[in-house]
A and B are shown apart, each in its own frame.
Chain A
């Protein structure tokens, strides 16, 4: 179990581009996968979304 978690961690480091520069500090969220469905300001969300008066809440 421990080895499988180590393997997954090393694989996600390679996937996120930390394989060749292991000294780079890994910040929180660096190893997370990009989700194209999540709202991204300026991509699938207007960049002034915070000023939208009609937004919920």
Chain B
């Protein structure tokens, strides 16, 4: 009834911070998953996969809430399409982390001892790229406070400036790891190789999604 009561819609930027936090927690479980796989702790992998699935679901719930409140009647400080694509990309990070966990529980795949160090380094790089993004993303409420401009926007842009290079490094590590796997093909059975492929694909999916999210975030800031 009162005009002023109807005027304010729910800001999506607080929930976006929450979404980034949930995605970050998903990705934090990737390293433990790899370590459990190396130790051949198949029970541990199942527990971790449950945890990742639950976190990914919670992130989805936040995502749906944001989408529910973003009807066309509301005017936003950033372009709606940019916000949608950003949210979609950020959600893909969590999806890829969950894919990795699912790959590990489908089959008790042992990691060849010669590959352990490279897998570990690859996972470290992936997690670094993702955390760079989610740390910047968790300042979304501060960005909204400064209307996506000024010193805060510069600071966030600086934080995500390394994403492109980080993702390129991850790609390079993935290629090297792939080549190493095929050098060992006589010692590995084909299904194991196929599962290594699935693992690599889901892991690099995390880094790719993180880099895309960073691009969308940059678009939101720069266009303001």
Partners in one complex: no
- Enumerate chain B interface residues (CB-CB to A < 8 A): none
